[in-house]
């Protein structure tokens, strides 16, 4: 399956890590499909950050995110890249386990078929039992056999 996605980018060297983290969180809450931060080096060797924000390729949505990025960051220029995106079909199932409900994202297409236990549910189980994520995953998978 293919769709189109819009990726906004800007280079920032005058916000602190705290301010960047806050901006990234707000943009996720506003519905961005993804927000990433990357360390880069700008002119005069300054250690800066590249912020990328992905949203759907819809004019109103893009307009909305341009406003939000200008609002939550100090940038004065935002680059826009449109790219095609190949995506797998996704379906969410819910597993009934001795450790509570565990969501399972099942994906398929392009010759692959696999499923992935939801991180938040594994984290809850791991916290409750004082174990790590890998051990929680094993517990859940073991209970399904």
Q: Binding residue for a second copy (CB under 8 A) from 94, 129, 134, 143? A: 134
Angle ∠(134,35,26) on CA atoms, nearest 5 = 105
Q: Binding to a second copy (CB under 8 A): which residues in 71-110?
A: 71-74, 76-81, 83-88, 90, 105, 107, 109-110
**At closest approach, how far in Å is the CB of 54 from a second copy?**
8
Choice from 91, 101, 116, 129 touching a second copy (CB under 8 A): 116
Q: How far is the CB of 40 from a second copy (least distance, A)?
A: 5
- Taking the complex as a whole, the smallest distance from the CB of residue 101 to a second copy amounts, in Å, to 19
Site for a second copy in 47-66 (CB under 8 A): 47-50, 66
Report how many residues bind a second copy under the rule CB under 8 A. 73
Restricted to residues 31-50, the positions that interact with a second copy (CB under 8 A) are 34-50
Q: Which is nearer to a second copy, 81 or 94 (CB)?
A: 81
In whole angstroms, how close is the CB of 27 to a second copy at the nearest point?
9
Contacts of 68-73 spanning 24+ positions with Cβ under 8 A: 68/26, 68/27, 68/30, 69/8, 69/10, 69/27, 72/22, 72/23, 72/26, 72/27, 73/10, 73/12, 73/15, 73/20, 73/23
Q: How far apart are CA 53 and CA 62, in angstroms?
A: 10
67 touches a second copy by CB under 8 A: yes
**Both tokens of residue 122?**
């594994």
Q: How far is the CB of 80 from a second copy (least distance, A)?
A: 4
CB count in 10 Å sphere of residue 39: 8
The radius of gyration computed from the CA coordinates of the chain, to the nearest angstrom, equals 19
């Amino acid at each position: 399956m293919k769709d189109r996605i819009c990726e906004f980018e800007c280079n920032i060297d005058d916000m602190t890590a705290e301010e960047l983290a806050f901006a990234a969180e707000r943009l996720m809450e506003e519905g961005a499909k993804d927000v990433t931060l990357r360390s880069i080096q700008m002119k005069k060797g300054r250690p800066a950050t590249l912020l990328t924000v992905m949203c759907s390729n819809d004019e109103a949505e893009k307009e909305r995110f341009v406003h939000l990025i200008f609002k939550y960051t100090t940038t004065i220029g935002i680059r826009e890249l449109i790219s095609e995106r190949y995506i797998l079909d996704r379906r969410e199932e819910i597993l009934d386990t001795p450790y509570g409900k565990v969501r399972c994202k099942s994906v398929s297409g392009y010759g692959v078929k696999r499923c992935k236990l939801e991180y938040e549910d594994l984290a809850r189980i791991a916290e409750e039992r004082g174990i790590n994520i890998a051990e929680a995953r094993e517990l859940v998978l073991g209970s399904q056999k």
